[in-house]
Amino acid sequence: MSNYKPKLNWGIYYTNDLFYSDAYQTLTNSSRNLLHCLMSEVDFIKIKHNKRGGYLYPNNGSISLTQSQFTSYFGCTKSTYKSARDQLIEVGCIKITHSGGMGSGDIATYTVLTLKHVLRDEQRWREYPSKNWLDEIPRTKKQLIGISTQWKPGECGRKTKPTLTNHTLNEENLPNKLYPSPNQVPNKLDS
């Protein structure tokens, strides 16, 4: 995977209502870094349909920043990336459009909801303390292979009956540490 290269010649405008919102203030530093990286990946087109004008975000919904790009650029672990992404989804700053992970080149894509010109109805982060989006965080599917052979609750994996018997070896040291009786030990003189 290619390294992350931030766009250093331009920046992102954070409105005060975003910055002082409960959603943004609860974010960890790694979550803020990830949000900024995702926001800086958005392209915008200025449109002039009236005096005020407006903006379109043509690639919002297909924004991606892979786990390996984020971890290599910021020097963090995979779990830091995952918890940052999950927190951004929970507070409503981003919305996942494709979960990815189904093979080589299948990357997750997101819609960034904290941009200035996103419709107000789609800005989930404004509703954060009273509403969250924990149910939209992607979860791994349960492991179904080997269910029948797994240990049951209360089992320790140790066999309940010993597999060795008292007379399995032809040597002086018996397997279950019994003291040999004269009739069990082969006589060395007989051989």
State the pLDDT confidence band at 90, using cuts at 50, 70 and 90. very high
For residues 139 and 86, the answer to whether their CB atoms sit within 8 Å is no
φ and ψ of 98, to 5 deg: -150, 125
Q: Is the pLDDT of residue 184 over 80?
A: no
Beta-bridged to residue 109, according to DSSP, are 98
Tracing tokens 């349960």 back to the chain, one arrives at: 142
pLDDT tens column, 44-71: 776 666 566 667 777 788 888 888 888 9
Q: Which residue has the higher pLDDT, 71 or 168?
A: 71
CA pair distance 29, 168, nearest whole angstrom: 64
pLDDT of residue 169: 54
Q: What's the whole-model pTM score?
A: 0.68
Tokens of 79: 């779990």
pLDDT winner (highest mean) among 67-76, 131-140, 149-158: 67-76
Amino acid identity of 23?
A: A
Tell me which residue of 101, 106, 83, 97 sits closest to 26, measured CA to CA.
83
pLDDT, average across residues 94-105: 83
Asked if CATH classification 3.40.50.2000 holds for the domain at 16-136, the reply, yes or no, is: no
Among 107, 109, 83, which Cα is nearest to 96's?
Answer: 109
Tell me the pLDDT of the chain averaged across its residues. Answer: 78
Place of tokens 């929970």: 90
For residues 186 and 191, what is the distance between their CA atoms, to the nearest angstrom?
9
In the chain, at which residue ranges do the beta strands (DSSP E only) sit? 45-47, 54-56, 94-98, 109-112
